[in-house]
Amino acid sequence: MSMVHGKNQHFVPQSYFRRFSNDGKTICLFNLKNKKFITNASIKGQCSKNYFYSKNTDIETEFSKLEDHMNRLISQIIENQNLSCLNEEEQFHLKTHLLFQHGRTEYARESEEETANALFDMFKPNISKYAEEQGLKMTPEEIKNLKIKSDSQNSLFFSMTSGILLADLNMVLLENKTKTDFIFSDNPVILYNSFFNENVLEGTQGIASRGLQIYFPLNSKLALFIFDPNFYDVGKKEVVYIRKDSDIQRLNGLQILYCNETIYFENAKMQKDILLRHNQLKSKRPSQKTDNRVVASRITEDGKYAELWRTTNTKIKYDLEKLSFLKHKDNDIPPGIRNSPLVDINKMMIDAIEEGKIKSQEDLKKFFDNLQR
């Protein structure tokens, strides 16, 4: 029986896995659900599902082109051991690729489904009434069990069009000088906000949020750290050398906290450390990825009842501020949108895409060229 090309669609690229592999074919993993370690798992079957994005198998080919671009940029960084090997445009593309990776995972899809179904549940009483009016036979139990399934289109669209929102963030390369390796998960791009995490209830990890941090391992010894320079100081060098094992354990903890199901690592000797760290943090892992709630309600002028709905990532309290290389700046800037002009540009770009004015990379380039005039 012949295999359908493009059927097995990856949400974390195989090329990324190979950077944590000794032989380019296998990798060590720890599954959080069954607490099982495998030290020679095939890379080919990791972070992939049949038709994960679409039954149009061309999408795997198109995503592979984007992955190749990111792979080349990461290869340059690893080869040169710095970020200055990339020009300003390439660094911008790298940030954009990180958002694409962040929005394409199973974790992102399940987050989208949680929000959609939380809203859908509010409308189920209307569905019951409609079914009754139309003579449709639907039991209360059937209506209760109705669920929306996401195809990731929303998360993919916004992650692929929101790179401009990261243009004002600084980026450094973290070089791991300890004996403990960086690990990664099936959700490897982590958005966090240690500045506002303790004092703000929710809504601090948005792409446009003040105080945003983004962490992404490149291999067992290198990682990217992107941050809001108004709130954090990591020194003036583009490469930050980490010599404290506690710093690596803290960064690895982010991968465990935001992992969907599986942790990946290069050295089989890391098993004991990973299990210990997981046991320390498992109580902090939320049962829901998103927090969806009604925060206000009112009666409109025409007598209709209206509610204000808010959805955010579930807040995880974690002491990332204890990283030895990271300093919180002393300022009284409140939480909120980090850069309103960038948000306005992003909205203009999305509107242009939806109106069919931007259909290609050439159209996108013209869009930005016109903004600079």
Tens of pLDDT, residues 255-287: 999 999 999 999 999 999 999 999 999 999 999
Q: Which residues pair with 148 in a beta bridge?
A: none
Instruction: Give the pLDDT of residue 5.
Output: 60
Q: How high is the pLDDT of residue 369?
A: 82
pLDDT class of 127 with cuts at 50, 70, 90:
confident
* Residue 1 confidence (pLDDT) above 60: no
Q: What are phi and psi of 116, to 5 degrees?
A: -60, -40
pLDDT at 2 over 50: no
DSSP three-state, residue 306 = strand
- Domain spans, the chain: 8-288+319-338, 339-373
User: Across all residues in the chain, what is the average pLDDT?
Assistant: 90
Mean pLDDT comparison of 100-104, 226-230, 298-302, 315-319, highest-scoring range: 226-230
Query: What is the C-alpha to C-alpha distance for residues 167 and 67, in angstroms, rounded to an integer?
Result: 21
Give the per-residue pLDDT at 83: 97
Query: What confidence category does residue 4 fall into, taking pLDDT thresholds of 50, 70 and 90?
Result: low
Confidence band for 315, pLDDT divided at 50, 70 and 90? confident
Give residue 63's pLDDT band: very low, low, confident or very high (50, 70, 90): confident
84 contacts: CB under 8 Å, gap ≥ 6: 238
Token pair 């109580």 in the structure block, residue: 283
Q: What is the pLDDT of residue 363?
A: 84
pLDDT of residue 140: 81
What pLDDT is attached to residue 104? 92
- Condensed to tens digits (0 to 9), the pLDDT of residues 185-196 reads 999 999 999 999
3-class SS of residue 300: coil
Tokens of 189: 């791009």
Q: What pLDDT, on the 0 to 100 scale, is given for residue 360?
A: 82
SS3 assignment for 172-239: EEEEECCCCCCCEECCCCEEECCCCCCCCCCCCCCCCECCCEEEEECCCCEEEEEECCCCEECCCCCE
| Among the ranges given (36-50, 121-135, 234-248, 335-349), the one the predictor scored with the smallest mean pLDDT | 121-135
Mean pLDDT of the 295-321 span: 84
Looking at residue 278, what is its pLDDT?
Answer: 96
- Residue scoring higher pLDDT (51 or 192): 192
How far apart CA 54 and CA 108 sit, in angstroms, is 16
Contact 143, 124 (CB under 8 A): yes
Sign for the pseudo-dihedral over CA of 337, 297, 316, 160: negative
168: burial class by Cβ within 10 Å (0-12, 13-18, 19+)? middle
| DSSP structure class, residue 259 | -
Q: What's the start-to-end Cα distance of the chain, in Å?
A: 57
| pLDDT tens digits for range 280-307 | 999 999 999 888 888 788 888 888 877 7
Token readout for 254 is 């982010």
Average pLDDT over residues 24-35: 96
Q: Identify the pLDDT of residue 280.
A: 95
> In terms of Cα–Cα distance, which of 119, 174, 176, 181 is closest to 150?
119
pLDDT band of 98, cuts 50, 70, 90: very high
Q: What is the pLDDT of residues 225-253, one digit of tens each?
A: 999 999 999 999 999 999 999 999 999 99
- The Cα–Cα gap between 102 and 170 comes to 18
Percent of the chain with pLDDT over 70: 98
Sign of CA dihedral 203, 207, 213, 218: positive
**What is the percentage of the chain residues whose pLDDT exceeds 90?**
61
Q: Please list the residues that pair with 337 across neighbouring strands.
A: 209
The mean-pLDDT minimum among 89-103, 152-166, 182-196 falls in 152-166
pTM attached to this predicted model: 0.91
Tell me the C-alpha distance between 199 and 53, whole Å. 38
CA 65/CA 103 separation, integer angstroms: 17
Q: φ, ψ for residue 38 (rounded to 5)? A: -130, 125
SS3 53: coil
